[in-house]
């Protein structure tokens, strides 16, 4: 018979409807939460400021110093090709000759050089291009083959590798350049091209050249630099900065940092930023880009001290033919930006750099 109809219990109906509504609400809220998690970006983790912050006297807190020494870095850096892979290469002998010239430059062009006597100051290319030009952020040659010929504002012209190599002979080695067709120049360029052979044209590798360094907010201090120099550098480079030769006098065990046998005032290292970057990530000997031993402050102050000592002069009046392209730390005027030679030498550099940028926009 017809007993489908159940006794209507109004209370039960209301309760079951309520349960339905609550269930729908719960599902809706969970859905909303999931949507929020997926679509609203998580706030960025607060980044630690690595550049140390000076107090009102221009001094750095102990904490800031420690911070500037901590570098965590997992980048895949460029690695030089293995010399062993040269076996069977038609150019092997020339490439290895070039490498030897870079490592033992002094034996070829120093005081008793095998190729030319005293055509340089007796330094080795490797003194500044560490590990034969292969060290990460040790001023390596990884991006030379891929980026030359290129326009360089210093000369206001497009330069090939030969010109660039001779620049270092004439400035960093305060000497004479080589004939492009000489076996020595051909060797050096063959080696540099071989080092960079796997780097695509136009690309600068991770770790090429020198690593960036934050500016100080104050001018760099030669006085501070002098104190730190005597504590951290003089044991090798000597208190008088003249370096130390080996006992046979064929090469420097510790190269000079100033004086007659050092780089001249037209050299790359005479620019404060290059010097500070080089030592921050390479000196004292054994330091590297992921284990620096100097704070930023120490690096800038030592740069100020060393680059205020006497060194050979080079006539560089023809450099930077477009004065608006002079870098913030080129210490010789005239300038377009209105800042003094003094400030271009010691800083603070940020205002100069900002001014240069604003002039460029006009």
Two structure tokens written together for 156: 């206001």
By beta-carbon proximity to ligand HEC, the closer residue of 85 and 235 is 235
Applying CB under 6 A, among 80, 94, 130, 352 the residue interacting with ligand HEC is: 130
In contact, 265 and 313? CB cutoff 8 Å: yes
Backbone φ and ψ of 314, nearest 5°: -125, 135
Give me the least distance between CB of 315 and ligand HEC, in Å please. 18
In contact, 95 and 80? CB cutoff 8 Å: no
User: How many chain residues touch ligand HEC (CB under 6 A)?
Assistant: 44
How many angstroms separate the CA atoms of 93 and 191, rounded? Answer: 10
By beta-carbon proximity to ligand HEC, the closer residue of 257 and 352 is 257
Q: For ligand HEC, what does the binding mask look like between residues 202 and 241, x meaning CB under 6 A?
A: -------x----------------------xx-xxx----
164 near ligand HEC, rule: CB under 6 A: yes
**Block residue for tokens 């290469």:** 89
Spatial CB neighbours of 36, under 8 Å, sequence gap ≥ 6: none
292-321: contacts with ligand HEC (CB under 6 A): 294, 302
Applying CB under 6 A, among 68, 106, 139, 221 the residue interacting with ligand HEC is: 139
In contact, 308 and 300? CB cutoff 8 Å: no
**Block residue for tokens 């010399």:** 83
255 near ligand HEC, rule: CB under 6 A: yes
How many angstroms separate the CA atoms of 247 and 227, rounded? Answer: 29
257 near ligand HEC, rule: CB under 6 A: yes
89-118: contacts with ligand HEC (CB under 6 A): 102, 105
Applying CB under 6 A, among 68, 127, 146, 295 the residue interacting with ligand HEC is: 127
Would you give the distance in Å from CA 140 to the centre of its chain?
Answer: 10
Interface with ligand HEC by CB under 6 A: which residues? 102, 105, 123-130, 139, 141, 143-144, 164-165, 168-169, 172-173, 188, 192, 209, 232-233, 235-237, 254-257, 263, 267-269, 274, 278-279, 283-285, 294, 302
């Amino acid at each position: 018979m017809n007993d489908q109809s159940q006794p209507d219990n109004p209370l039960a109906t209301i309760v079951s409807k309520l349960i339905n509504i609550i269930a729908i609400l719960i599902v809706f809220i969970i859905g909303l939460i999931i949507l929020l998690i997926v679509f609203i970006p998580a706030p960025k983790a607060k980044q630690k400021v690595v550049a140390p912050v000076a107090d009102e006297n221009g001094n750095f807190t102990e904490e800031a110093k420690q911070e500037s020494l901590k570098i965590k870095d997992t980048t895949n850096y460029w690695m030089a090709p293995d010399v062993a892979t040269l076996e069977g290469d038609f150019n092997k002998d020339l490439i290895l000759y070039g490498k030897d010239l870079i490592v033992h430059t002094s034996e070829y062009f120093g005081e008793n050089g095998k190729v030319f006597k005293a055509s340089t100051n007796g330094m080795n290319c490797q003194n500044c291009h560490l590990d034969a030009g292969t060290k990460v952020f040790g001023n390596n040659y990884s991006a030379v083959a891929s980026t030359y010929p290129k326009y360089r504002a210093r000369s206001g012209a497009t330069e090939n590798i030969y010109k660039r190599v001779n620049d270092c002979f004439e400035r960093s080695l305060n000497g004479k350049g080589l004939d492009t067709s000489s076996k020595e120049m051909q060797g050096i360029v063959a080696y540099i091209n071989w080092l960079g052979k796997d780097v695509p044209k136009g690309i600068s590798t991770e770790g090429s050249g020198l690593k960036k360094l934050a500016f100080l907010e104050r001018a760099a201090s030669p006085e501070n630099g002098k104190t730190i120099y005597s504590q951290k550098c003089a044991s090798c480079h000597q208190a008088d900065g003249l370096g130390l030769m080996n006992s046979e006098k064929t090469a420097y065990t510790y190269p000079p940092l100033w004086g007659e046998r050092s780089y001249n005032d037209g050299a790359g290292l005479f620019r404060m930023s290059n010097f500070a970057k080089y030592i921050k990530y390479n000196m004292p000997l054994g330091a590297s880009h992921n284990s620096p031993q100097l704070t930023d402050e120490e690096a800038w102050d030592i740069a100020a001290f060393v680059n205020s000592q006497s060194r050979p002069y080079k006539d560089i009046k023809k450099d930077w033919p477009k004065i608006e392209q002079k870098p913030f730390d080129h210490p010789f005027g005239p300038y377009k930006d209105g800042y003094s030679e003094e400030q271009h030498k010691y800083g603070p550099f940020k205002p100069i750099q900002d001014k240069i940028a604003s002039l460029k926009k006009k």
